[in-house]
A and B are shown apart, each in its own frame.
Chain A
């Protein structure tokens, strides 16, 4: 049976990793900080997927970002989706060559469907994740692009329809209202998703603790839950969250985490003998 997924999202801004509060960024630390406090090779065994987004507010240094994606993907044997400022097929290729399995696009949906079709043609639709940032305005959900600054004239429904036409592989649906608040996912947003929506949905925005993941996992419309909360899930928290969710019977993938160490360098006894 297809499992649901728990996804961790890293928000990158010009060499630093950030915490987002309703799309306002707080600098937390660099790659060293992340390695020290998140013990990345161990961490990746507690999650199903990693998403790395370049949300740099100033001019983007693509090469620097690619280097970070590459560094993060080492010893990380899970799918990695990367994006942020993807505007052409070449950059999509660069991301794939630096460790990304999937490309995340956002503003491009509002700028050039043609380019997206080209990326899909080259890499396959399952390699393209369309991320949508939505905010409640009056009584309607509106879509924002350009790091949440540009309100689109399309409603969320129209946007979702566009995506199924292309088609992309998955949708990463993020609530700007709940972003970074730790108040849990927006129930209304879940309700808004059409019952028979054709593409897998990754829900994001508002998770602060594992109990919040449950709200998403319990809905038939949600295929994966994501969090970008860099503070709340520090240390063992993601590992503990997964253990708690599995214990409570949620449909997540299982693997033997203990194998990790014993399998390393199994074909190179020289390295092993130092143990």
Chain B
């Protein structure tokens, strides 16, 4: 078995795609956390103002699009852009399949706190087929939705002549992946296509058997669609020190965000990813493929923001990581129209055999976190 390492500061695993470690054994997310202390955030804020001014609508239309789910991050970015920078923003949600009550409630609360909004619902069946295909072909249970939150939003921005889309954080930069865009304020569609949909995109679309009109919301606009228009993308995390816990506190205070009454499965937090049932499966698949799950991710955030030590985090990760989403299995089977054994075959296929061993029908880790 290839040697597996854990970051000496947080608990990020070497199995994570595009992760790197420095001489201290600190992963790039932790290194970035330190680098951020020395960044001239004032200068970056200046850049933000310039970019916002460039993209402000001259005709009283919308200045930018902010994809939101009703969760803490989108709510935070929207709140800042509207109340601090006076932007006329259009928030956009791509309706998730199997949405949860709490998620629906949070989205409503967010909207009721006063934002223009467009709700995009890609065809249920097309979404379902893409999700199922993604699950089987790539081990990504909601691949269709992951695609649509980019493609459908881009199409909408294009169709409404809005030239800027604001995302929250660059997950790659903040949590341990490619550091490519850590110094990039604004970028174009080519980058998006390359990183986020590397590898599987064409394959899944083809395998789905869906035709072009069914796939409208799942495809990037073509050159022709763009005509003379341009859509740019930015991550809020470039312009302000990204702190997802701070986002949670602001969303709670100003956008009506509510938490779940119990801990979310596979972790110890209760205030994020409350919008859809498939997230738990997504987290579980990540665990089986890479060896770490939601608790590890959340622990990393807590450690980097100074709320707990690595030793404390270890206790929590050992207790909660890698939870099998028992409570949703029936829901998944019905949604995918699969039998338990078909479902299990997919799980078995994607489990990393170097990290896990099947004992009594469940994949158990053969490693111990050091």
> A residues engaging B (CB < 8 A)?
19, 21-22, 24-28, 37, 181-184, 208-211, 231-237, 240
Contact = CB atoms under 8 A, between A and B. Distances in A.
Nearest to B253: A22
Given A28-B263, A233-B312, A237-B312, A183 B319 contact: no
Interface string B349-366: 000000000000000000
A181 B259 contact: no
B312 A27 contact: no
Contacts of B252: 22, 24
B307 A21 contact: no
B118 to A, nearest CB: 30
Given A24-B252, A182-B307, 19 more contacts: A22-B252, A24-B259, A26-B259, A26-B261, A27-B261, A27-B262, A28-B263, A181-B307, A183-B306, A183-B307, A209-B312, A211-B309, A231-B268, A232-B312, A232-B316, A233-B312, A234-B319, A236-B315, A237-B315
A240 B261 contact: no
Interface in B297-348: 302, 305-309, 311-312, 315-316, 319
A177 B185 CA distance: 33
Contact of A21 (B262, B271, B311, B312): B271
A231 to B, nearest CB: 5
8 contacts: A24-B258, A26-B259, A26-B262, A27-B261, A27-B262, A37-B319, A210-B309, A234-B319
Nearest to A237: B312
A72 B260 CA distance: 27
Nearest to B260: A26
Given A26-B263, A27-B261, A181-B249, A240 B307 contact: no
A144 B212 CA distance: 59
A184 B259 CA distance: 22
A235 B249 CA distance: 28
Contacts, number: 61
Contact of A209 (B260, B262, B308): B308
A182 B319 CA distance: 20
Contacts of A37: 319
A26 B312 contact: no
Contacts of B311: 236-237, 240
B112 interface: no
B315 A234 contact: yes
B181 interface: no
B358 to A, nearest CB: 26
Lowest 7 A-B CB distances belong to which pairs? A182-B307, A235-B315, A208-B307, A27-B262, A26-B270, A231-B268, A234-B315
Contacts of B307: 181-183, 208-209, 232
Contacts of A26: 259-263, 270
Contacts of A184: 306
B146 to A, nearest CB: 28
Contacts of A211: 309
B245 interface: yes
Nearest to A207: B307
A21 B316 contact: no
Contacts of B312: 209, 232-234, 237
Contacts of A183: 306-307
Interface string B183-213: 0000000000000000000000000000000
Nearest to A27: B262
Nearest to A13: B261
Nearest to B252: A22
Interface string B227-261: 00000000000000000010001001000001111
A27 B263 contact: yes
